[in-house]
Structure formats: C-alpha cells, structure tokens
Amino acid sequence: MEELIKIIEAECSDYQEFYLNKIHSLTEKQRNDLLVLINKMRNAGAKSPFSWALSEITENIPQFARFVFLRELEKINRSVRKNIRYTQEYSEESDEFNILHKKLEQCLPSEELERYLQIYTRTIVDDFIHLLDEGNPREMQGEPNWTLSEIDDNFEHHRFINGLH
C-alpha cells in the first residue's frame, strides 16, 4: 500500500484524493496486480502508468496492450531513415521514389526532410488508428468489419483493444 501511495503522490498531482480512495477499495490481490502492471508498463517505456494500470485492473480495459500497440506505431513513425532505405531497396516504386527523394534532398536539409516526413507520417498513423478503432465505415453496406484484439500465447482472443485515439 505504501508503494502505491508514493506512486500516486509522484504521478497524480491533480487527482490524488480520488486515487488514494480508489486504492483503499482494492483487494490485496488487486493492489499486488496493480504494482506488477505498473512495473511492466514502466519497463515497456510508460512514463506515468498508474492511472492506465488502475483502469486495467478495475475496469478490465486493456491499457497495457493499448500502450504497447501505440508505442510500436510511434517507433515506425520515428524510423524515417530506416523506412526510406527500405523503400529505396524493396518498394515496387523504388525507382520513382529515389528520383523524388533526390529532388527533395536538394530542397531541404536531411534533418528538415526527416522531420517533415515524421509529421506527415504521424497524420497517416492517426488515420490508421481511427480506421482500426472505428471499424469499416462501409460495414452497413455489407462489407466486413475489423477490430484490434489482445491475444494470449495460444492466439486466443481475450479482450478488444479500442479507444486508441
């Protein structure tokens, strides 16, 4: 309990009283599970995971899976140079891409070009997240729909991962 109180004091300046009351209503098992999940999320790179972990424990919302999925999308977004090299080597349109890329390099320093592509890609990633989260806009017309799902080691579905945006 003391460790959770310290975490709340460090991470939750705006809602401390709410969270302190909330942890007092948890069972001992839930408190232990909460600490384990907070540590897993920190090890995965989450900066202030308390409220997310609490939500997962008390509301069964797959916050850790959501965080990991979004973290991986952000890694893709930040890997501009790697993605440029991949496109130059393996894309069906690599010749055209290389010509356009050389023209862009003549107009912008590589750091600015990389930043431009990160900003652009973030918009594409946001659109992808909305599409994944909201499903097929043509579902009502008889087209299939989709969702992101948390699975276990046997590839069995456990929970839907939504609310990504």
Whether the Cβ atoms of residue 38 and residue 7 lie closer than 8 Å to each other: yes
Whether the Cβ atoms of residue 76 and residue 125 lie closer than 8 Å to each other: yes
pLDDT at 33: 97
Three-state secondary structure call for residue 148:
strand
Q: What is the tens place of the pLDDT at every residue in 128-147?
A: 999 988 888 888 888 999 88
pLDDT at 13: 82
Three-state secondary structure call for residue 158:
strand
Q: What are phi and psi of 153, to 5 degrees?
A: -65, -20
What's the whole-model pTM score?
0.80
Q: Which two tokens stand for residue 160?
A: 């839907």
CB atoms within 10 A of CB 127: 11
Q: Which residues of 62-83 are buried (b: 16+ CB within 10 A; e: fewer)?
A: bbbbbbbbeeebeeebeebeee
Question: Residue 39: which H helix or E strand, with range?
Answer: helix 28-43
Task: Please report, in tens digits, the pLDDT of each residue of the chain (165 residues total).
Answer: 899 999 999 998 888 899 999 999 999 999 999 999 999 999 999 999 999 999 999 999 999 999 999 999 999 999 999 999 999 999 999 999 999 999 999 999 999 999 999 999 999 999 999 998 888 888 888 899 988 999 999 999 889 988 887
Whether the Cβ atoms of residue 69 and residue 163 lie closer than 8 Å to each other: no
Plot region of 87 (φ>0 → left; ψ -120 to 50 → alpha; else → beta): alpha
Q: What is the tens place of the pLDDT at every residue in 67-93?
A: 999 999 999 999 999 999 999 999 999
Whether the Cβ atoms of residue 162 and residue 61 lie closer than 8 Å to each other: no
Domain extent listing, the chain: 1-60, 72-160
pLDDT at 162: 84
pLDDT at 75: 93
